[in-house]
Structure 1
């Protein structure tokens, strides 16, 4: 089910800049018991992305109402919200785009996340590296070709998620999740200032870890740091947090960090 600018439909004008240039941003939220989990954080993410991309979207109150209404009556699902700059001319200039497009859709919740939380997952190193660009780092823009290629390579492996490095060989994220690892009481996560997506659940986890016995450290580091970890977890707004059981020949059985985060992440409505 799709709604485009408040109307139920499933097609865009060919001139929309989401189609022409990937000119827009999006967020993906978990629906639980008829509510959008962390709805304010998802709206803030979209607002930040629109500011960074210079998209003049202003219908925030209407968008929030639509998000809440689409979740009602749905015990479990996924809400995706896309904002594009709107329809415009052939060239790169967006000066003629005065009416941004908002697209909302609801789909089924991925059943495999329940199995992942129970059994843990295996990571595989992706041959695809993320380009470093501080102007776009952190936001979830519509240019996702890197992730499409990462997923295509991942599907040729026996792993559930990819360990993704940037073009300098530094740990950045997974294909569709952020990464945290624990060594003792220190919890490490890649900095998001050069590449990657600063995910909603990553932000949520870091906020709670900051008021815990754990010490959070954001780092630029290579794969060797992961091999020294006592525990690794991945997170996104849908999972919301999943333990990692293996990467290559390295295995983990500890769930100390996971056991701290999992109950908190389930209370996000």
Structure 2
């Protein structure tokens, strides 16, 4: 099911900036029991994306109502929300774009996350690296060609997810998830100051850990650092958390903090 600007339809204008330039932002949320999980966080992410991209005029009240209305039609699903700058002229200039386009799509929840919660995910280092761009780092803009290439390469392997580095060889994230690891009692997560996405579930986990007085350091490290980890886990709004059993040739047996965080996180999401 797809809604565009509050109406059930699946046809987008050919001159919409989302089609022409990937000019917009998006967020992907999980629907549970007819409600959007972390609704406020998803709306904040979309607002931040629009602010960074200088997109003005979105009807945020209408968008929130549309998200809640669509969510109420199902029990367990995925809701993708796209804000495009709207329809405009041929060139790069945003002049002439009168109104942002709101695109909401419902789809089935991926089935593979449930078994991976038990088995643990296998990661492989991707040969595709993320370009550093502090202006766009953190937001989930519509230009996802790097992730498309990462996913295409990942599908040539038997792994479940990719460990993604930037062009300086620094660990950033996964293809569609953020990354955390533990060394002893200390938790770490990569910086997304230069590249990557500040995921809604990443933000939520950082908040949960702060409430539990668990210190999480945001760091820039090379991939060899992960060999010293006692355990690794990944997260996004749909998973929402998965333990990692292997990265390349390194195996991880502990799930101590994964179980601790999953119990607290899942409770908060109910």
Q: TM-score, normalised by structure 2?
A: 0.98
- Asked if structure 1 preserves the Cα contact closer than 8 Å seen for 2:29 and 2:42, the reply is yes
What corresponds to 1:268 in structure 2? Answer: 269
Look up the match of 1:89.
89
Q: Is the CA contact (8 Å cut-off) linking 1:126 and 1:154 kept in structure 2?
A: yes
Which sections of structure 2, spanning at least 5 residues, go unmatched?
none
Map of 1:178 onto structure 2:
178
For 1:189-228, what aligned pairs fall within 5 Å after superposition? 189-228=189-228
Contact 1:26 1:81 in 2 (8 A): yes
- The answer to whether the Cα contact below 8 Å between 1:24 and 1:82 also exists between their aligned partners in 2 is yes
Match of 1:80 in 2: 80
- Structural mapping, 1:36-47, within 5 Å: 36-47=36-47
1:105 aligned counterpart, secondary structure: strand
SS for the counterpart of 1:210 is helix
CA deviation string 1:58-112 (max 9, x = no partner): 3111100100110114120000000000000010000110111000010000010
- State the SS of the aligned residue for 1:107: strand
Q: What secondary structure, in the 3-state scheme, does the structure 2 residue paired with 1:138 have? A: coil
How many residues align? The count is 269
Q: What runs of 5+ residues in structure 1 fail to find an aligned partner?
A: none
Q: Report if aligned partners of 1:56, 1:98 keep a CA contact under 8 Å in 2.
A: no
Query: How far did 1:212 drift?
Result: 2.2
Once residues 213 and 244 of structure 1 are traced to their aligned partners in structure 2, the CA distance between those partners, rounded to angstroms, is 23
- Alignment deviations for residues 212-250 of structure 1 (CA, whole Å, 9 cap, x no partner): 243210001100111100000000000000000011221
Q: Counterpart in 2 of 1:100?
A: 100
Please identify runs of 4+ aligned residues in structure 1 that moved more than 2 A: 211-214
> How do 1:29-178 residues align onto structure 2 when only pairs under 5 Å count?
29-178=29-178
Contact 2:58–2:99 at 8 Å: present in 1 too?
A: no
- In the alignment, is the contact (CA less than 8 A) between 1:185 and 1:213 conserved in 2? no
